Amino acid sequence: MLPPSRQLTPLEAEHFRKFRLQAVIYQPYLAGALFSLIPVRSPELGTFAIDRYGRVYLDPEQFNEWTVQECAAVLIHEVHHLLRRHAERADDLKVPNHLQDQWNIAADLAINDDLVAQDLPLPDPLLPTHFEFPDGKSEEHYFNELQKLDDPNSRCACGSGSGGAAHDELDEAAADSLGPTDLARIRADVLDKMRRSAKGSPNLRTALMSRPPAAPWQNLLRRLLRPKLSVSGDRRSTWDRPNRRHDSTFLFPGSNRRAANVGIVFDTSASKSQDLLNRAASEVAGILRSARIRTLTLVSCDEEASIPAAIAPTSTLSLVGGGGTDLTLGIHALANLAEPPSVIIVLTDGWTPWPEVAPKDIRLVCAIFDPNARLPTGRGIEALYVS
């Protein structure tokens, strides 16, 4: 939850809804991104800004300064910072603090020439022509060119989400935020809608199609799974461990933590790499052993799902198969068990239909081998690429 002082008033929230809807009218393929933003009240900011976690900072004074159409255009501008990975790209370039303004300007130039070409009413936009630069170049190109100038004589305050300096931003854990998986899902959704409509900026499309350099997938998988395996476990009473608080008159049972009940769906279609599947399976098996899980149920799946089979958590996980792929069948087979798992792990190349939402009360984690496959966009589904 946002701190009360950072929440929009009812009147401000109504204004935000109006210009967000206008932004969707301008660029419908951004709808998923626009409705995922978390609005934060930021008086005296003098503009709108966005942080790395999908929180958009709004100065209420600008609601009166700008028209609804101008507010919508600025909101789209901020969303483009998030979609184009400007913060991550600044990290990749190791942009030092004293050059953050120049990177922010470069990012603005790359966005604004696209939005102005689409007739969006940005208020006083900064454009490449102001520096006698050509339109249509990348952020990195503009950044290099700006460093050749003595002083760009411009300042930007689009926030950490642009790769620029943070102004009046909340800490990562201080309020609601979008995580890496949420942002990856949003970008995949926008790219899919752009492909379907054949609209939008080619530069935005290129940015969405680029894959960010990733940490080793093994580390990401452990980071994704371990909290779920721990949280999913419950505790049960046992007389094997008497309660340490008992006295000489009354004895009370102690308790043991019951580890999570886990299901695994193996993609056994002919389209994936067996070597990569085995490596991922080995990594998952190690994580499950260290978590001391209670039950492991396995389903192999291509265009049909096998009967769920309980196996020992120490068993080797390695399967081969062939045919098409519809892993929703395997997910449903596990979810419909009399005692369904609390966590389902899917190992796949990603070329499969996905459910629109994770099964109720089940955490769904997907390890996807093919970086060209689309991440699932269903609610409650966590996913990462394995390479």
Q: Which domains does the chain have, with CATH numbers?
A: 4-209 (no CATH), 217-385 (3.40.50)
Task: Say yes or no to pLDDT of 22 above 90.
Answer: yes
Q: For strand 253-258 and strand 343-348, is the pairing parallel, antiparallel, or unpaired?
A: unpaired
Task: Say yes or no to pLDDT of 248 above 60.
Answer: no
pLDDT of residue 232: 44
Q: What count of other Cβ atoms lies within 10 Å of the Cβ of residue 145? A: 19
Summarised one tens digit per residue, pLDDT across range 94-139 is 899 889 989 999 999 999 999 999 999 999 899 999 988 998 888 9
State mean pLDDT over 6-34.
94
Q: Which carries the bigger pLDDT value, residue 274 or residue 162?
A: 162
Percent of the chain with pLDDT over 90: 30
Q: How far apart are CA 4 and CA 11, in angstroms?
A: 15
Q: How confident is the model at residue 157 (pLDDT cuts 50, 70, 90)?
A: confident
State mean pLDDT over 62-71.
94
CB-CB contact of 267 with 301 (8 Å): yes
Summarised one tens digit per residue, pLDDT across range 202-229 is 778 878 877 555 556 676 677 667 666 7
pLDDT of residue 293: 72
Of 232, 219, 349, 368, give the one whose Cα is nearest residue 291. 232
pLDDT of residue 78: 95
Summarised one tens digit per residue, pLDDT across range 324-342 is 578 899 999 999 998 898 8
pLDDT of residue 30: 93
Residue that has been written with the tokens 């068990």 in this structure: 337
Q: What count of other Cβ atoms lies within 10 Å of the Cβ of residue 333? A: 20
CA distances from 43 to 2, 167, 194 (A): 15, 11, 34
Q: What is the pTM of this model?
A: 0.60
State mean pLDDT over 294-305.
79
pLDDT of residue 233: 44
Q: Which residues contact 22 (CB under 8 A, 6 or more apart)?
A: 68, 69, 71, 72
pLDDT of residue 38: 92
Q: Which carries the bigger pLDDT value, residue 198 or residue 298?
A: 298
Question: How many residues are listed for the chain in this entry?
Answer: 387
Q: What is the 3-state secondary structure (H, E, C) of the chain?
A: CCCHHHCCCHHHHHHHHHHHHHHHHHCHHHHHHHHHCEEEECCCCCCEEECCCCEEEECCHHHHHCCHHHHHHHHHHHHHHHHCCHHHHHHHHCCCHHHHHHHHHHHHHHHHHHHHHCCCCCCCCCCHHHHCCCCCCCHHHHHHHHCCCCCCCCCCCCCHHHCCCCCCCCCCCCCCCCCHHHHHHHHHHHHHHHHHHCCCCHHHHHHHHCCCCCCCHHHHHHHHHHHHHHHHCEEEEEEEEECCCCCCCCCCEEEEEECCEEEEEEECCCCCCHHHHHHHHHHHHHHHHHHCCCEEEEEEECCCECCCEEECCCCCCCCCCCCCCCCHHHHHHHHCCCCCCCEEEEEECCCCCCCCECCCCCEEEEEECCCCCCCCCCECEEEEECC
Q: Which carries the bigger pLDDT value, residue 259 or residue 263?
A: 263
pLDDT of residue 281: 73
Q: Which carries the bigger pLDDT value, residue 173 or residue 293?
A: 293
Q: What value does the mean pLDDT of the chain take?
A: 81
State mean pLDDT over 15-23.
95
pLDDT of residue 14: 95
Q: Which carries the bigger pLDDT value, residue 299 or residue 227?
A: 299
